[in-house]
Chains A and B, each alone.
Chain A
Amino acid sequence: MTGTVHDSASGLYQVIAKELPWSLDIVVEIAQGIIMKSGLLEEKRTIIKRWINLTVDTYPSESGSFLRNQKDQFANPVGAAIAQGAEALFDWVTGDSKEYSPLVVRRLDDIVRIRAVQQFSPSNAVAFVFLLKNSIREVVSKKFSKDSGHFGELLEIESRIDSLALTAFDMYMKCREKLFEMRAMEIRNRTSRILERACNKYGAPHEW
């Protein structure tokens, strides 16, 4: 059914384009971009669900059903972060904005911050972003015929996913650096108060 929508819409655009004085190629290009995106948006729920499932599959299988099915965000904060993140990040990837909104930053950071302390290697911790490609490709290969010429758009979307992944890597590093800093601070704080008190009483070390 979705294939029919696409075909008829494409035909309609070509008809309109013929009536307009602009270059047909440009119009078709714009139209195809819209079609590609609108096609993905139609399948938004499927793509997001698949992406969430692929991400949850990076956890041990015994934990999967809990992460997927417990909907209370306070009983299952990891599952909630993945689900809320998937939605916001999908919207950004299929949108036009080159900037990240505070919401997108927050949602991406939520997932990365969690995975930065879990059992994953660094690459696995951020690889969930790339799993969106898998999810989109599965839908695209079903929805669009192979010669429909949408690869420009697909690549554009994939590039947006790539930049999201690089941002995720930056966030991951910030989280790790924060953890090391916290460790160092904890060790320092264990004795700093005692030293401060000692210095107050006996003077600074160079005065001893």
Chain B
Amino acid sequence: MELHDLPKPKDLMNIDLNRPPETGWMDSRAQFKEGTYSYPAAGKNLKALGMPNPRQWSPTDDDWKLPENWREIILQGMKERLEKYRSFRLFMDICVRCGACADKCHFFIGSGDPKNMPVLRAELIRSVYRNDFTLVGKMLGRLGGGRELTLDVLKEWFYYFFQCTECRRCSVFCPYGIDTAEVTMIGRELLNLVGLNINWVMEPVANCFRTGNHLGIPPHGLVDMWQFMVDDIEDITGVKVNLPINKKGAEILFVTPSGDYFADPGTYTCMGYLMLFHELGLDYTWSTYASEGGNFGLFTSHEMIKRLNAKIYAEAKRLGVKWILGGECGHMWRVMHQYMETMNGPADFLEEPVSPITGTKFENSKQTKMVHITEFTSDLIKNGKLKLDPSRNDKYVATFHDSCNPARAAGLLEEPRYVIRNVTNNFYEMPENTIREQTYCCGGGAGLGNDENIDMRMRGAFPRASALRHVRDKHNVNHLLCMCAIDRATLTALTEYWAPEVSVGGIHELVANALIMEGENERALDLRGEPFVDVEEDE
């Protein structure tokens, strides 16, 4: 046989590689592939919140059951927001498309889809802005970068604005300081006006509005859950810890994400708080009303952030506490740090936070009166107020995933590391361009951490996973620490798919493992009920 008898390579290779259409980005339509989009909000949740157009629909249907005048509604909504938010108009006007942000988005890096480039994602809305709100766009149309708002464009908005986790990594690199997350936020606000939203956001919002927490747990359910944790702690340590609930006149109100009440491994972090506060003899209280630190209003609209956040100051006032302590949560800290005081303040009925144990003034929290738990704990450690045995965490070789919002929105970079270094003996950092301000998102924030969106989550998770696999291979890292409830849920899936040998947990779980408590039994088990030292290793 000779070479020329063989079919030509191209013929033999008759596999349609189906390259995406090479039409320009303005003309290619969004492809709703199973696994890459979130299911729409159930009508009952929109009704509960008084939001427009509650109905049953699916993104794969041709007819999205939009109001007849949807186009006018969106353009009117844009007009109002351009007038109301100077930042939005500025972000629409000043981008020079330099491309600095283009390759910084975890979804772009993991998918190779150009519309996941932050610049192009923003361009989806910016093109409509040019077309309808600028003179150049009105005159030149497409030549001026303008694009008419058609049904396909709207569908594309829905697809891509729910493919942004609002992590703000791209804005770290923007020379003009454009915050793409805010563009996404406005994009989602506009979509909400015609009833385009996802259930993984709207159900927690509706629940939160009704009961105060995302899961919709009524007060007695919460008490049961916390009581279970107290029992578990007693089984493990022999110490029955205090459980102050709705205690009027307590010094501190403690607020944390409800995701940590039910779902492992968040529950271990929650048990950690209970143990720490008990050991300190802290005069604090849990609340069955301000039972949620998370705020999915952030992923809905500015008005919704305010509505859901209001309960925290209201409860602090009702209980008469001096200041507020907040647990390990991610986007909660963006809300606390950047919106709460403006939206629901001034918190002039509270005092400037002072640690009752060390006397340290948290001057950075003068305005909000709310302190992050790692600020609080690192101060305790610094002042030698905790008895710690880091060797109890020796089976872990840990690394730390900076959760997007505490890192980029609140600048909490050193405090968590200080705590980790004092409660473990084995800690390694991931590569520098994947941590701190440049940290990669878990791929499941901003309401995208649902099971139906699993392919997209894994795309977005890959940059983080690639850095994690590097330290796993180099330093045998087997435990991924984080301080965000969404992280604890979504990183568990990330490691399951990309690095199955690595477990996930919160910082205060390790604090509580290492914490030597007064009256504790001869402890052999960690908070997961597992031996401190792996049996095989011991042998």
Contact = CB atoms under 8 A, between A and B. Distances in A.
Contacts of A57: 17, 19
Interface string B443-455: 0000000011011
B102 interface: yes
A76 interface: yes
Contacts of B434: 74
Interface of B: 1-4, 6, 9-10, 12-13, 15-20, 22, 25, 31, 33, 35-36, 102-103, 108-114, 117, 224-225, 228, 262-264, 267, 431, 433-434, 451-452, 454-456, 458-459, 462-463, 465-467, 470, 493, 496-498
Interface in A81-105: 81
Contacts of A138: 9
A57 B22 CA distance: 12
Given A76-B109, A77-B462, A179 B263 contact: no
A190 to B, nearest CB: 7
A74 B431 contact: yes
Contacts of A63: 108, 112-114
A206 interface: no
A9 interface: no
Contact of B13 (A58, A74, A133, A141): A133
A128 to B, nearest CB: 9
A77 B109 contact: yes
Given A60-B113, A141-B3, A182 B13 contact: no
A117 B102 CA distance: 21
Contacts of B33: 119
A24 B230 CA distance: 84
A78 B9 contact: no
A130 B117 CA distance: 29
B470 A59 contact: no
Interface string A59-71: 1111100110010
A118 B40 CA distance: 22
A74 B463 contact: yes
Contacts of B103: 66, 70, 75-76
Contacts of B462: 77-78, 114, 117
Contact of A118 (B6, B17, B102, B112): B112
Give the interface size bracket for A toward B: 35 or more
Given A60-B20, A118-B459, A201-B224, A67 B496 contact: no
Interface stretch (A14-22, A39-47, A192-200): A192-200
A38 interface: no
Question: A61, A117, A147, A201 — which one has the most chain B CB atoms within 10 A of its CB?
Answer: A117
A144 B456 CA distance: 45
B15 A117 contact: no
B515 to A, nearest CB: 24
Contact of B102 (A66, A130, A178): A66
Contacts of A179: 35, 454-455, 458, 497
B112 A67 contact: yes
A124 B18 contact: yes
Contacts of A117: 35, 110, 454-456, 458-459, 462, 497
Contact of A137 (B9, B15, B493): B9
Interface in A134-156: 134, 137-138, 140-141, 144, 146-147, 151, 154
A159 interface: no
A163 interface: no
Contact of B466 (A67, A73, A151): A73
Nearest to B15: A127
A57 B262 CA distance: 45
10 contacts: A62-B25, A63-B108, A72-B433, A113-B498, A118-B111, A121-B18, A123-B15, A127-B15, A154-B3, A197-B228
A175 B19 CA distance: 23
Per CB-CB distance, the 4 closest pairs between chain A and chain B, nearest first, are A77-B466, A62-B114, A59-B112, A117-B458
B434 to A, nearest CB: 5
Contact of A190 (B20, B263, B493): B263
Interface string A167-205: 000000001001100110011011001100100110000
A193 B111 contact: no
Nearest to B431: A74
Nearest to B462: A77
A124 B18 CA distance: 8
Contacts of B498: 113
A151 B6 CA distance: 10
A114 B459 CA distance: 7
Contact of B470 (A74, A75, A131): A74
Contacts of A193: 262-264, 267
Contacts of A200: 228
Contact of B451 (A76, A134, A154, A186): A186
B110 A78 contact: yes
Contact of B225 (A80, A113, A127, A197): A197
Contacts of A175: 497
B46 to A, nearest CB: 22
Nearest to B3: A146
Contacts of A60: 19-20, 112-114
Contacts of B267: 193
Given A58-B17, A77-B463, A118-B111, A151 B1 contact: yes
B9 A134 contact: yes
